[in-house]
Amino acid sequence: MQMLLTEIRQALGLTTNSQSPTTTEITAVTFDSRKVQAGSLFVPLVAERDGHDFVGAAFQKGAQATLWQADHPLPANADERYLVVSNTLQALQTLSQFYLRKVAPQVVAITGSNGKTTTKDMTAAILAQRYRVVKTPANFNNEIGVPITILSMDSDTEILVVEMGMDRAGQVAKLSALVQPDLAVITMIGEAHIEFFGTRDKIADAKMEIVTALKKRGTFIYNGDEPLLQERAQTVVQAKLTFGQKETNDLYSLTCQGSQKQIRFTTNLWPQLEFCLPLLGDYNVQNALASLLVGQKYQISPEQMQKALATFQPTANRTQWLTAANGSQLLSDVYNANPTAMIDVIANFSQLKTKGRRILVLGDMLELGAQGQKLHQQIATAIDPERIAAVYLIGDLMLSLQTKLAGKLPVYHFASSEQDQLVTQLRQDLDPKDLVLLKASNGLHLDRVVQALQAEC
């Protein structure tokens, strides 16, 4: 990013002091004072920790300017570097829209209950074969992360790939209005966040908000196997493309073969071309199909897409193979979890060949509301005692799964506060030949267990 401070003032509708320097350049925008670098604009957000308390530290680290919310008293030493706005978050969003219009890339927006991060990574890798691409980093997929992603673009960016998350109705609509996508993708509808929505129908309604600001000449790509999306897509006037397993879709897989660290598949559009993903799980083929349709829309050749999918780098802790200190192979999928995703990854993990044992380490799936216990119990349907040697559970909700599995195979349960005890027992129990799947909602912080198992005692 490169913008003059006077340009930022104008974008925010602020008056400019004629005596202030007009050549001050802003090269980065951040809301985290720990990430401030020389040339940054610091955005103090009001949350559990008020960002205004860190403005001084931001300037010490080289920030050129800061936003400042008007309901906070200005410091005695405040000068032209303090840009006073009514709301710092809204100002961040306004500035991102200004910069988006200035750079004017094509915008690909992606949402869905499962697979949106992996689909984002695949799509960005495919588009990067021909274009200069910027994508949402990590989980920057909300009303703060999306503006920051926009403002991270270089001025020569040609395509912006934006992931959109949600935990309430109206959130995706706001994000869609912020970026006004040229192409919108919905990966699938599951039970994620059902605590807030109550039914899958309402989740589908919330995901469909992505098309509310889709440009008139835009394209809507969605999972054609999902009746809830089929029904709602009928009201979309823009061009539409579907992917899935059924032959009624525009793009579907013909063959699919998986192993521990990759999966190969062919499709109806390019039947002679075999695609390879460096991931476990046939469910990832659906994510790949969505990204292939995006690539086709932007004239990426099948061969280029094949190359991109074979070498793309998924976001950390998304079905990522790691090695424990004792030699056990860890399949880290602790970035997030919901019932559909957990059942899918367990089913695929259970088919892996191994000279040792297959071990599950599962943590609570959050935001399932009143259906939480029932949905946790349903995970038992994916756990075959003939293929899974032992299950380690952590979190209060996983007590219901422990009850369901009792007497079928060894099951160990730990409270969410007992991570250290879980790590200690795993270190004692695991053999170097074992395969271990770890999956939970991000709020369980199972990534710390993954790191502990990788570290030497």
Q: For the segment 261-277, what is each residue's pLDDT rounded down to a tens digit?
A: 899 999 999 999 999 99
Burial of 448 (0-12, 13-18, 19+ CB in 10 A): middle
Query: What CATH code is assigned to 104-311?
Result: 3.40.1190.10
Question: For residues 45 and 52, what is the distance between their CA atoms, to the nearest angstrom?
Answer: 7
Strands 219-223 and 239-244: parallel
53-83: pLDDT as tens digits: 999 999 999 999 999 999 999 999 999 999 9
Domain ranges of the chain: 3-89, 104-311, 320-454
Note the pLDDT of residue 22: 61
Q: What is the mean pLDDT of residues 208-229?
A: 97
In this model, does residue 208 exceed pLDDT 90? yes
3-state secondary structure of 42: strand
Q: How confident is the model at residue 19 (pLDDT cuts 50, 70, 90)?
A: low
Q: Is 268 assigned to a binding site? A: no
Q: What is the mean pLDDT of residues 160-176?
A: 95
Q: What is the mean pLDDT of residues 416-437?
A: 97
Average pLDDT, the chain: 94
pTM here is: 0.90
Note the pLDDT of residue 18: 52
Q: What is the mean pLDDT of residues 106-135?
A: 96
- DSSP for 173-241 reads HHHHHHH--SEEEE----STTHHHHSSHHHHHHHHGGGGTT--TT-EEEEETT-HHHHHHHTT--SEEE
Q: Is 212 assigned to a binding site? A: no
Q: What is the mean pLDDT of residues 170-191?
A: 95
Note the pLDDT of residue 381: 96
In this model, does residue 457 exceed pLDDT 70? no
Q: Is 116 assigned to a binding site? A: yes
Q: Where is pLDDT greater, at 190 or 171? A: 171
For the chain, percent of residues with pLDDT exceeding 70: 97
Note the pLDDT of residue 17: 60
Note the pLDDT of residue 20: 53
Note the pLDDT of residue 207: 97
Query: What CATH code is assigned to 320-454?
Result: 3.90.190.20
Q: Is 115 assigned to a binding site? A: yes
Q: Is 187 assigned to a binding site? A: no
Q: Please give the helix or strand (H or E) that residue 108 lies within, else none.
A: strand 106-111
Q: Is 176 assigned to a binding site? A: no
Lowest mean pLDDT among 19-28, 81-90, 243-252: 19-28
Strands 106-111 and 411-414: unpaired
Q: How confident is the model at residue 434 (pLDDT cuts 50, 70, 90)?
A: very high
Q: Where is pLDDT greater, at 200 or 390? A: 390
279-324: pLDDT as tens digits: 988 889 999 999 999 999 999 999 999 999 999 998 887 888 999 9
Question: For residues 151 and 103, what is the distance between their CA atoms, to the nearest angstrom?
Answer: 10
CATH of 3-89, picked from 3.40.1390.10, 3.40.470.10, 3.30.565.10, 3.10.25.10, is: 3.40.1390.10
Q: Is 114 assigned to a binding site? A: yes
In this model, does residue 193 exceed pLDDT 70? no
Q: How confident is the model at residue 152 (pLDDT cuts 50, 70, 90)?
A: very high
